Amino acid sequence: MERYRKKVLYSRDVIDERVKALAGQVSRDFSGKDLIVVGVLKGSFMFMADLIRAMTIPCTIDFIRLASYGSATVTSGKVRITKDIETPITGRDVLIVEDIIDTGLTLAFLKEKLLERNPRSLKFCTLIDKKHRRKVEFHSDYVGFDLDQGFVVGYGLDFDEKARYLPDVYVLEE
Ligand code: 5GP
């Protein structure tokens, strides 16, 4: 990562504002429902913690970890679950929280797998959506930021496991 310069793309204040707005939407939409929020590890951990804290409705939480075969920065499309959720989701309202949707391959796989368990509803919330990069059609119900280009780190997002701890989102520049 040393060969890149980091430029703040979304400051913590800007993130905070967007997360609060998303939490408001989620709270309205899931009011009175049996909500389970599932974070996709590791990238979503900070976003999910902030989102839940800003929500005004109760929920239970769980985590899932996925691995894609291939390099660290390019998704191959072959995805597998390396840590499954521990909560049954049949008949429940599930909100998946992800850091970034890029090609859409990861979440398209996850959606197919989770629908086999017959949740009452299955929705997706992503901090960052790189819509134009899709290789498969995938729609996220809640989006923090739309991003056209660039590789971003910080606020849970890594570059080779580095930079997750940073409180702002940075774009890497050569
Ligand atoms: P895809 O949608 O292509 O299947 O995969 C999305 C995953 O690729 C994200 O969860 C994330 O791990 C990784 N990814 C895609 N773009 C970026 C980026 O700009 N920064 C970081 N840190 N990870 C990214």
Give tens-digit pLDDT for 111-169: 999 999 999 999 999 999 999 999 999 999 999 999 999 999 999 999 999 999 999 99
Any ligand 1 atom below 6 A from CB of 75: yes
- Check residue 174 and give its pLDDT: 87
Tens digits of residue pLDDT in 42-96:
999 999 999 999 999 999 999 999 998 765 556 566 899 999 999 999 999 999 9
156: left (phi over 0), alpha (psi -120 to 50) or beta: left
User: Residue 11's beta-bridge partner residues?
Assistant: none
What value does the mean pLDDT take over residues 95-108?
96
Pairing of strands 152-153, 169-173: antiparallel
Nearest to 135 by CA among 77, 80, 79, 78: 77
48: left (phi over 0), alpha (psi -120 to 50) or beta: alpha
Look up residue 121 and give its amino acid: S
Measured at the CA of 148, the angle between CA 76 and CA 156, to 5 degrees, comes to: 65
Q: Is the per-residue pLDDT at 26 higher than 90?
A: yes
Closest residue CA from atom 16 of ligand 1: 102
Q: Which atom of ligand 1 is nearest to the CA of 40?
A: 10
Any ligand 1 atom below 6 A from CB of 158: yes
pLDDT band at 171 (very low <50, low <70, confident <90, very high): very high
Packing angle of the helix pair 12-29, 45-54 (nearest 10 deg): 60
- Check residue 75 and give its pLDDT: 59
Residue 129 falls in the annotated catalytic set: no
Report the residue among 4, 7, 97, 100 best suited for mutation to probe ligand 1: largest number of ligand atoms under 8 A from its CB. 100
- Check residue 28 and give its pLDDT: 98
Architecture of domain 13-149: 3-Layer(aba) Sandwich (3.40)
| Alpha-helical segments (H) within 85-138 | 105-115
What's the CA dihedral at 137, 74, 157, 54 to 10 degrees? 10
- Check residue 69 and give its pLDDT: 73
pLDDT band at 6 (very low <50, low <70, confident <90, very high): very high
